[in-house]
Structure 1
Amino acid sequence: MDRKTLLSRLDSIGWKTVLPEDSLDRLCDLGLRGDSYELAVIAGELAIECQPITLRGLFYRVVSTGFFPSTAKKYYDKLQRLLSSLRDAGWIPYDWIVDNLRATIKPSSWSGLEDFTDTVRGAYRKDFWASLPNYVHIFVEKDAMTGVIEPVTRELDVSLSPVRGYVSDSYAWTVGSEFRDIDKPIKCFYIGDFDPSGFDLERSLREKIEKHSGKPVLDNEPIDEHLFSRGAVKAGDILQDEYKREHGLNVITWERIALVEEDFGNHQLIELDVKLTDTRSKSFIEEHGTRCAEVDALNPNEIRRRVRDSIMQYVPNDQWERLREIEQLERETWESTLGQFAGGDQ
């Protein structure tokens, strides 16, 4: 395969590549088979646009181009095998395609004080949220999606929790205990599949967090318009501030930011059928209809945009900048302290 032939084959399927010539030349030298060259170009360009992205997310992007006729498993497997070869060859970076987060457990250790000071020199980061009027927490249904979202939550210092299926009481107790000790309004955002299990997982998580935090979990609505209807409190009886004063509770508000009903029309999601064998399908169909979709079907750039916008609405710009200045001053103090600790050689 040479570049001219590859460009001709791409042209025959209506794909105008923007990849540089040297990248195409490297691809042609890999010894792929059949239409894997065209698939590599399409997947590579989509990965450049959307990385970091899950393998399933990239698969949905490829299906959307029309290259694959359906979401059948054989096409997913084909893309998976090709990406493995492309990453092994260094044509696509490994960190562009994110998978389940896996960690090796080992106690922290260092070769000596110099190694230790190098490690901790850049470790200090001020907890901005401790000084802000709200606390924000992001929940995501799929472990693999954490790699898509984490660049934003890391930058903005926000907690990100993968749910990984129905949560145990131990998990919910851990989160609830954390929320119980937070003496300010808590804003939770949820990212999950648009299907019976995705919504039921969300329901279960909300209920368990409410149970273990001792705080009401309410749909995210304007704070001055929301009336409580939990326990002995009837709707319309007590406004939020009065309820908080009487019960000593802060409120947890909850919002699903992906997937939502509007995404089907606004983002042309690839639709899946409801699994009628799922015992939760009946209630789902009654409320949402027969369309389902995986969260991976939504462009990861759009997911990251929603996460950022959701967080930033609770970040006062002037206060955030002031905290950045304080953090820089504290970093400089920390640098000075480390220099003295290491004998002034750092």
Structure 2
Amino acid sequence: MPKIEYKSIKFQQKSLELINLVNQVVEEYQAQGYELTLRQAYYQLVARGYIPNNERSYKNIGNLINDGRLAGLIDWHSITDRTRNLRSNSHWDNPADVIASARYSYLLNKWDGQPNYVEVWVEKDALVDIVGQACRPLDTPYFSCRGYTSQSEMWSAAQRFISQDYRDNRVIIHLGDHDPSGIDMTRDIQERLQMFGADVYVKRVALTMNQIGTYNPPPNPAKITDSRASKYIDEYGNESWELDALEPQVITDLITNEVTALRNDEIYRSVCDSEERGKDELKMIERNYDKAVAFLESEE
């Protein structure tokens, strides 16, 4: 992993110690296969008691990580920005490589024949990669709401769920912050989907007060400027909590447990077996690509 010095910066000893702590947190999560956003790294430092939990502290750690990278003390791959990405076409060196790629991407719908249809929705785009790491192996669609979902996307979602009316149940597993708006978003999703004619159960699985008691994420003051603050404070008090503060593995486990509880494993395994047979066929074509081309050319 690249630690490249682009700028000579003289740090105070306290800053150097904090940079070492940042590296420890990042390396710990990289070993588990997770990439952290700046906010997730910040919350892990707060949760471990290394820094206070306030806006100034968040800005300071952002500046320190920026300087640490420029000084060659923090890996450039250590913090990910999930909101800004380069997009481009895929390319291959030869036609056989396309078949190899197709073999890896050949996936049957594991929810075919299942009594339930399930999607996972998360409030924040910054967490969509972590949610995706949980959902992709489960072949479960996932969606970043980015706050209150737009009317256009909510209508499209309703049409998607209506098309699944032949199933016994349609379920959204919803994860969001425990703050005035984050709590209200679960209600909003349920009510607007119903307004558009979709029969869906929206199950909020995070954050909950039970999880806050179990995992003890660092609290924030409830936003009193939020129009929903008064009701929230009456019920939960003056503190709020962000989903980002949960460790990625906790989020992964929550999603996995909820999804698998709604899945018929016998049907799932049958589809997986069919998928493997298809992959084997593609592998055979890949290995014998030149022979296949020669045969087809001889038939022309």
Distance 1:294 1:254, change over 3 A: same
Q: Is this contact kept in 2: 1:193–1:294, CA < 8 A?
A: yes
- Show the counterpart of 1:147: 129
Distance in 1 (CA, whole Å) between partners of 2:40 and 2:173 is 20
Partner of 1:136: 118
TM-score, normalized by length of structure 1? Answer: 0.72
Q: What amino acid is the match of 2:194? A: E
- Aligned partner of 1:45 among 10, 24, 35: 24
- Amino acid paired to 1:143: D
Which of 117, 121, 138 in structure 1 is aligned with 2:103? 121
CA shift, 1:104, in A, is 4.4
Cα pair 2:111 2:268 within 8 Å, conserved: no
For residue 119 of structure 1, report the CA deviation from its aligned partner: 3.2
> Against the structure 1 CA distance between its residues 343 and 104, is the aligned structure 2 distance closer, same or farther, given a 3 Å change threshold?
farther
In structure 2, the partner of 1:286 is 234
Q: Which residue of 177, 186, 191 maps to 2:175?
A: 191
Give aligned pairs, total.
282
Instruction: Name the CA distance, whole Å, in 2 between partners of 1:335 and 1:90.
Output: 44
Q: Which runs of 5+ in 2 are unaligned?
A: 294-300
5+ residue gaps, structure 1, are 1-22, 217-251
Cα distance in structure 2, aligned partners of 1:147 and 1:341:
35
**What letter corresponds to residue 174 of structure 2 in structure 1?**
Y
Structure 1 residues 32 and 201, CA gap change in structure 2 (3 angstroms): farther
User: Match of 2:188, as an amino acid?
Assistant: S
Taking the aligned partners of 1:36 and 1:344, their CA distance within structure 2 comes to 62
Query: Which amino acid in structure 2 is aligned with residue 47 of structure 1?
Result: V
Q: What CA distance in whole angstroms lies between the structure 2 residues aligned with 1:268 and 1:43?
A: 20
1:310 Cα deviation from its structure 2 partner: 0.9
CA drift of 1:151 comes to 0.9
Q: In structure 1, how many angstroms separate the alpha carbons of the residues matched to 2:173 and 2:73? A: 36
- Does 2:192 match 1:208? yes
C-alpha distance in structure 1 between counterparts of 2:73 and 2:286, whole Å: 39
Give the Cα–Cα distance (whole angstroms) in 2 for the partners of residues 321 and 151 of structure 1.
20
Structure 1 residue 107 displacement after superposition: 5.7
Shift of 1:207: 1.8
Correspondence 1:257 to 2:241: no
Q: Which has the higher contact order (CA 8 A, sep 6+)?
A: 2
User: Identity of counterpart residues, as a percentage?
Assistant: 25
Q: What do you get for the CA RMSD once the two structures are aligned?
A: 3.0
TM-score, normalization by structure 2: 0.82
Contact 1:117–1:342 (CA under 8 A) maintained in structure 2: no
Provide the rounded CA distance (Å) in 1 between the counterparts of 2:289 and 2:54. 60
Cα separation, 2, equivalents of 1:110 and 1:208? 44
Q: Work out which of the residue numbers 25, 36, 44 in structure 2 matches 1:61.
A: 44
Amino acid at match of 2:190: R
1:327 pairs with one of 261, 270, 275:
275
Q: How far does residue 298 in structure 1 lie from its aligned partner after superposition? A: 1.6
